[in-house]
Amino acid sequence: MVESVLDKTFYEIWHIGEVDDLSIDKIIDYMNKAISEGARSIRLRFYLNSYGDLSYIQYIRRILLNNTLATIVVEDRVIEELGKDVEKLNNNVIVIMNKVEKEFPGEDKVRIVKVV
Amino acid sequence: MELKNVDIILTTDRSMMTNHHGKEFLGFMATGPPIGMPESLWMWIACPKMKTDRFGRPWQAPYALRKLEALLQDHGYNAWVIDPDYVDLYIDKAKIMMISHHDYFALCPPSSEWWVITRKEPVNARSFRRFMEKTSIREAKKRGLKIIVGGPPAWQWLYKVDLWANWGVDTVVEGEGERIVLDLVRKVFDNEPLPRYVFVGPGDSPRLEEISTIKYPSVNGLVEIMRGCPRGCKFCSVTLRSLRNMPLDIIEKEMIINIENGVHNGILHSEDVLLYGARGIKPNPEALLKLHELARKHLKEIAWSHASLAAIKNAEEEYKLISKIMEIVKSGDNQDYLGVEVGLETGSPKLAKKIMPAKSAPYPPEKWPQVVEDAFMIMHENNIVPAATLILGLPEESEEDLVMTAELLDKLRPYRSLIVPMFFVPMGLLKDKDWFTSVKVKDEHIEVMRKCLWHSVYWAEDIINRFYLKKSSTAPLRILLKLFLRYVRWKGRSVEKKLGLKPLDISLIQTVR
Ligand code: SF4
């Protein structure tokens, strides 16, 4: 029986708004904290304005290239899917918001971190 | 078995789907641009087409693809390795195309070094690009084909985001694939979105029982004998993954699969073959002798993928193990030498201590140059022919380190070997399209590189004459390689002249034969 990687419980960090060095720094802070507390499966999910725009990847290089310990899964979704995803939430999630004003559905599982 | 449709195509471009005429060392040419001859001839020498059945299934395929094929078939999927020339037969109906590679964009050494020296794109990157730009793949993407790419150089996609988007790659996977691949395939079959990038951490490395046994032959009979490496060098990603020794019965099964399908030679694959069955970094004589007896029983010619110089010295000095293994290797009358890749990396103990403090173990890093020299002597005396790599341009490297490396190269002259310098390219540079023009090459680097060049040219001629391509059927290839070496000599001399350098006297090499 081969174990699953994706069925595990992930430490969830979601990102909304513009991806830039500052917001990546925030992600790294939370990732480091999670790893130091023993997390070994981390999901980074980027909510984008248009699907298939991979320009955010150049910013996440430094996250991926510096990690050796944890499994990291990077996902991207269009922002319209956010509401649906929040409804399905099972775990706690850190939401990094950068240069965006967005009403976030009142969820006790969601911790919002504003960058700018 | 007839093949009508394939749901999951496992493939790669021609620079990978080849057996290099059965000579792994020729694979080195697949990492360079064509020099002194047309690209088609260069490709024929380095990466000849693989024989296939009428369904396009290659006779031999890269081991990583064979492992995935076995894993997916064991889980009931219609997944096959398909030669790149036959992908069009199935692409219309396939759900997924999975691609594996050693160096997608020629950014890893030694390809990166070829870039820096010649300013030309190596053939592996050209061949991969030609493959990805096939109209049939573009069409299949529009229809919903998912493309998943992986392998050790997966990180390179992070620097090629434009191609990632243009070619419609859905997911990039870095790390050991067994567990994640099944997850991803399940997602595609369930119409769920795929992640964009997955880095598989050491905690998600498969256990031995999760690793499938190949069902069809691997390139040049490569068989994995262990995964992981305990030495922890700073510049290497293999480290951190747990050590797993494949049991002998599994190794034997894979050897038999190869032999039954007409691949009679074999490569024992490990980051350090001499650590098979070891606890820590001390060789385990019993496990190694059993492994080689097994290989001798089944294989016509045996090769090692990699071995560490420290383990070579330690194995011989403490247990006479290299001599014993080579006695076994030579006992079949089919083989009088054994090829292996080794990491020389530097001639400076100071640098060794900084970047690879455990590479010399059980000897202290201060003794690294002596370890290298002793291991080269042991290999020479036992007809082991190493292709050694050394790393230039590390951020920690000083001019003094380079001088020490050059001095060590002088000491290695009498020992039959190829020595290939590899340029460390800081990742920051890779952002730019013409990154290879920004790599700073110092005079000391040039000195080390030309010592390597003349050492390797000299010994390559000796290796071809003594051991390599001796059959009459390989005569055309032998002649071409000799012509190529003559061209390299001529080119090397003219570059030295242009740079105002006094030619090195390579005849001094002829001391021990
Ligand atoms: S010895 Fe080789 S495989 Fe092991 S960590 Fe060092 S470079 Fe990597």
- Per-residue pLDDT of B68-122, as tens digits, reads 999 999 999 999 999 999 999 999 999 999 999 999 999 988 888 888 888 899 9
pTM greater than the 0.90 cutoff: yes
Q: Which residues of A touch B197 (CB under 8 A)?
A: 57, 60, 64, 72-74
Q: How many angstroms does the Cα of residue B461 sit away from the middle of ligand 1?
A: 29
Q: How many angstroms does the Cα of residue B340 sit away from the middle of ligand 1?
A: 15
Q: How many angstroms away from the CA of A42 is the closest CA of chain B?
A: 10
Q: How many angstroms away from the CA of A6 is the closest CA of chain B?
A: 7
Domain ranges of chain B: 8-204, 217-511
Cβ atoms within 10 Å of B483's Cβ, excluding its own? 12
Q: Which residues of B touch A1 (CB under 8 A)?
A: 210
- Per-residue pLDDT of B231-260, as tens digits, reads 888 777 666 678 899 999 999 999 999 999
Q: How many angstroms away from the CA of A15 is the closest CA of chain B?
A: 15
Residue A109 has pLDDT above 60, yes or no: yes
What pLDDT, on the 0 to 100 scale, is given for residue A93? Answer: 94
Average pLDDT over residues A94-109: 83
| Dihedral of the alpha carbons of B31, B35, B41, B46, in degrees to the nearest 10 | -20
Q: How many angstroms does the Cα of residue B236 sit away from the middle of ligand 1?
A: 6
Give the pLDDT band of residue B419 (cuts 50, 70, 90): very high
Closest Cβ–Cβ partner in A4, A65, A75 for B179: A4
Q: Sign of dihedral through CA atoms B39, B491, B510, B456? A: negative
In one-letter notation, the amino acid at residue A39 is A
> For B217-511, CATH number?
3.80.30.20
Residue A4 has pLDDT above 70, yes or no: yes
What pLDDT, on the 0 to 100 scale, is given for residue A12? Answer: 96
Subunit contact A71:B71, Cβ cutoff 8 A: no
Interface of B with A (CB under 8 A): 71, 75, 155, 158-159, 161, 164-165, 174-175, 178-180, 182-183, 187, 193, 195-204, 206, 210, 237, 240, 427, 431
A64 in a structural domain: yes
What pLDDT, on the 0 to 100 scale, is given for residue B506? Answer: 64
Give the pLDDT band of residue B508 (cuts 50, 70, 90): low
Count of structural domains within chain A: 1
What pLDDT, on the 0 to 100 scale, is given for residue B230? Answer: 86
What pLDDT, on the 0 to 100 scale, is given for residue B507? Answer: 61
Residue B174, both tokens? 């870095």
For residues B467 and A101, give the distance between their C-alpha atoms in angstroms, rounded to a whole number.
71
A2 in a structural domain: no
E-strand ranges in B351-439 read 384-392, 418-423
Residue A67 has pLDDT above 90, yes or no: no
Residue B165 has pLDDT above 90, yes or no: yes
A1 in a structural domain: no
What pLDDT, on the 0 to 100 scale, is given for residue B467? Answer: 78
What pLDDT, on the 0 to 100 scale, is given for residue B121? Answer: 93
What pLDDT, on the 0 to 100 scale, is given for residue B485? Answer: 84
Residue B513 has pLDDT above 50, yes or no: no
Looking at every residue in chain A, the average pLDDT score rounds to 91
CATH number at residue A105: 3.40.50
Average pLDDT over residues A47-59: 91
Residue B170, both tokens? 């859905």
Q: Which chain B residue is nearest to residue A72, measuring alpha carbons?
A: B199
Q: How many angstroms does the Cα of residue B230 sit away from the middle of ligand 1?
A: 8
Please answer whether residues B71 and B214 qualify as being in contact, where contact means their C-beta atoms are separated by less than 8 angstroms. Answer: no
User: A72 forms bridges with which residues in the sheet?
Assistant: A42, B199
Per DSSP, chain A holds a count of helices (H) and strands (E) of: 3, 5
Run of H or E residues at B136: helix B135-143
A83 in a structural domain: yes
User: B25 vs B406, which has greater pLDDT?
Assistant: B406
Q: How many angstroms does the Cα of residue A20 sit away from the middle of ligand 1?
A: 35
Residue of the CA atom closest to atom 6 of ligand 1: B233
Cβ atoms within 10 Å of A57's Cβ, excluding its own? 23
User: B431 vs B314, which has greater pLDDT?
Assistant: B314
Tell me if chain B has a CB within 8 Å of the CB of A65: yes
Which range among B32-36, B339-343, B432-436, B484-488 has the greatest average pLDDT? B339-343
A65 in a structural domain: yes
What pLDDT, on the 0 to 100 scale, is given for residue B427? Answer: 67
Whether the upstream peptide bond of residue B362 has omega within 30° of 0, thus cis, is yes
Place of tokens 């020794």: B245
User: B222 forms bridges with which residues in the sheet?
Assistant: B267
Tell me if chain B has a CB within 8 Å of the CB of A35: no
Pocket residues for ligand 1 (CB within 6 Å)? B 229, 231-233, 236, 238-239, 271, 308, 343, 356, 359
Which of A30-34, B210-214, B433-437, B442-446 is the least confident region?
B433-437
Q: What angle separates helix B399-412 from helix B368-381, to the nearest 10 degrees? A: 20
Percent of chain B with pLDDT strictly greater than 90? 72
Residue B263 has pLDDT above 50, yes or no: yes
Percent of chain B with pLDDT strictly greater than 70? 96
Which residue range forms the structural domain that includes residue A26?
A: 11-114
Q: How many angstroms away from the CA of B155 is the closest CA of chain A?
A: 8
A82 in a structural domain: yes
Subunit contact B158:A64, Cβ cutoff 8 A: yes
Quick one: which atom of ligand 1 is closest to the CA of B232?
5
Subunit contact B155:A1, Cβ cutoff 8 A: no
Residue B279 has pLDDT above 90, yes or no: no
For residues B344 and B387, give the distance between their C-alpha atoms in angstroms, rounded to a whole number.
9
Residue B297 has pLDDT above 50, yes or no: yes
Q: Which residues of B touch A3 (CB under 8 A)?
A: 179, 204, 206, 210
What pLDDT, on the 0 to 100 scale, is given for residue B428? Answer: 65
Looking at every residue in chain B, the average pLDDT score rounds to 92
Residue B489, both tokens? 């000599």
What pLDDT, on the 0 to 100 scale, is given for residue B241? Answer: 74
